[in-house]
Amino acid sequence: MTLGLGLIGTGFMGKAHALAYGSAAAVFGDLAPVRLAQLCDTPVQKARDLGAQFGFAAATDDWRALIANPEVDIVSITTPNALHKEMALAAIAAGKHVHCEKPLALTLEDAQEMEAAARAAGVRTKVGYNYIHNPAVSHARALIAEGMIGKPVHFRGWVDEDYQADPDLPWTWRATRADAGLGTLGDLGCHLVSMSHVLMGEIESLIADTQIIHETRPLPDGSGRAAVENEDTASAIIRYRNGAQGTLCTSRSAWGRKNKLDWEVHGTKGMITFSQERLNELKLYVNEGPRAQQGFRTILTGPEHAPYGAFCPAPGHQLGFGDLKTVEVAGFLRAIAAGEESFPNFTDALEFERVIHAIDTSAREGRRVTL
Q: Does 131-370 carry CATH code 3.40.190.10?
A: no
The confidence score (pLDDT) of residue 1 equals 77
The confidence score (pLDDT) of residue 52 equals 98
Cα-flanking dihedrals φ and ψ of residue 243, to 5°? 100, -15
The confidence score (pLDDT) of residue 131 equals 98
pTM over 0.85: yes
- What would the pLDDT profile of 228-245 be if each residue is shown by its tens digit? 999 999 999 999 999 999
- What would the pLDDT profile of 129-162 be if each residue is shown by its tens digit? 999 999 999 999 999 999 999 999 999 999 999 9
Locate the domains of the chain by residue range: 3-130, 131-370
Q: Which residues of the chain have pLDDT under 70?
A: none
CATH number of 3-130, picked from 1.10.510.10, 3.40.50.720, 3.40.50.11540, 3.30.590.10: 3.40.50.720
The confidence score (pLDDT) of residue 127 equals 98
The confidence score (pLDDT) of residue 91 equals 98
Residue 215 CB neighbours (<10 A): 11
The confidence score (pLDDT) of residue 87 equals 98
Number of alpha carbons in the 13 Å side-chain half-sphere of residue 325:
22
Beta-strand runs (E) in the chain:
3-8, 34-40, 58-60, 74-77, 97-100, 125-127, 152-160, 203-211, 216-218, 225-227, 233-240, 245-251, 260-267, 270-275, 281-286, 297-300, 369-370
